[in-house]
Amino acid sequence: CTSCGKKSMPIQVQEKTQNEESDGSDSDQSELEITTFVHQCSNEGCGHVIAEHFHRFHVESNRQEYFMECLLCGRGTDSSLIHRGTAAEDDPYVNIKQELEAADEAKAKETPEQKKAREDMFEALANTVPVIDENEDNDSATDWD
């Protein structure tokens, strides 16, 4: 602290939060939250204000915008998309699981001729993949220790 000359972690005091919403004139409502506080010397009897901290959080359409500015903490911004779907819709594995279930259902309904054709196709594919003998493998990139 420049006032008392002691080194200690500053404390946060006088926190104020202000929330505002737009009047909703368009279909995308926005919200704005502004938080301010001061970093103050933590030594008893000093109370020197070291820096004022400003933080703004703004939601508009499908984005969250963050802005922070402080002489002590620095300045920063961030922006991120908001996923408004359900957790299941946001999970990439849900679609894969649904596709696998649909494939299993299709396999259960296939005729013996369709099953034979599918098995023949996979066997033909398996036979086209080259098998490299250990002695012929000169590529060290595929060696796994």
Q: Tell me whether residue 41 is exposed, middle or buried, using C-beta atoms within 10 angstroms of its C-beta: 0 to 12, 13 to 18, 19 or more.
A: buried
The neighbouring-strand residues paired with 60 are 30, 63
Residue-level pLDDT, tens digit, the chain, 145 residues = 888 888 877 777 877 777 776 555 444 556 788 888 888 888 888 888 888 888 888 887 778 888 999 888 888 888 888 766 665 555 666 677 777 888 888 878 888 888 888 888 878 877 776 666 666 666 665 555 5
**What pLDDT is stored for residue 119 in this prediction?**
83
Closest to 60 in 3D by CA, of 88, 92, 25: 25
Question: pTM for the full model?
Answer: 0.46
